[in-house]
Amino acid sequence: MKAGAVAAPFAVLWDMDGVLVDSAPYHQRAWRETLAEEGVLLDEASFRHTFGRRNDAIIAYVLGTEVSPERASSIGEAKERRYRALIAQEGIAPLPGVMEWLGRLHNRGIPQAIVSSAPLANVSAVLQALGLAHLFRSIVSAEDVRYGKPDPEGFLLAARRLGMPPQRCLVVEDAPAGVEGARQAGMHCLALSTTHPPEALATADLIVASLDHLPPDTFARLEPATGEG
C-alpha cells in the first residue's frame, strides 16, 4: 500500500464478460463475419460450444487442427478487431445493477479491479463505451498472465496491485472456471448465473441471477468475511 493511502476493508475483483456486460452477441457476430471471409459458416451450436475458449482453440475446433499458428493468429486478430469495431460503432449496455454497484462501492472507497481473460484492447474498448474506466484501480487482462482461469494467477496479481491480501478480496464471476480460480486464490466469490446454471457455480459463497437482485446491504454483509485476516 502506498504511503498515505487509507486502508480499505476489502477489494472487489470483477470479471467482465457475463458480469459487467453481455458481450456474447458481439463475439458471435465478429466470429461469424470473420470466418465467413474464410469460407466457413459458424453455426449457433459451434459458437456456444467454443464461447469463452482461447482463440486458437476456437479456430482449431472450427477450421481443424491443420491450420498453421500464423494463420490462426491472423484470423484471431481479425476477429478481435471486428469485435472492437462493433463495440465502438454500436456501444454496449451494462448488465442490470452494474452501474449502481460500481458507483456505490467506488463512493465507499472500496478498491476495484477487473480480472478478465480478454485482451487488454477488448477490455479497454468496453470500458470506454461504458465510461467506467475511472472506477477501476487496476486491470488484469490476458496479456498479464501465463495461465488462464481456473488458475488463480490473475486474481492474485490483481490483489497485489491493489495492495490487498487475497482473503480480503471478493471476486464477482459468472463462470465455473472463474469461481474455481477465486477459490484457489483464497478469495470469496459472488457468482452470477448469467451464463451458467446455478448448480455449475455451487462452490461460490453466494449465487444470484443478477446484480440488481442484491439487497443494498449485500456487500456490507459480506464485508466481515472478506475483511478478516
Active site residues: 15, 17
Give the burial class of 51: count Cβ atoms within 10 A of its Cβ; 0-12 exposed, 13-18 middle, 19 or more buried: middle
How far, in Å, are 34, 79, 202 from residue 31 at the CA level? 5, 6, 31
How far apart are the C-alpha atoms of 150 and 34, rounded to whole Å? 28
CB hemisphere CA count around 183 (13 angstroms): 14
For residues 172 and 192, the answer to whether their CB atoms sit within 8 Å is yes
Report the relative pairing of strands 138-140 and 188-192 from DSSP bridges.
unpaired
Cell numbers found for residue 85: 469495431
Say if CB 140 and CB 161 are below 8 A apart. yes
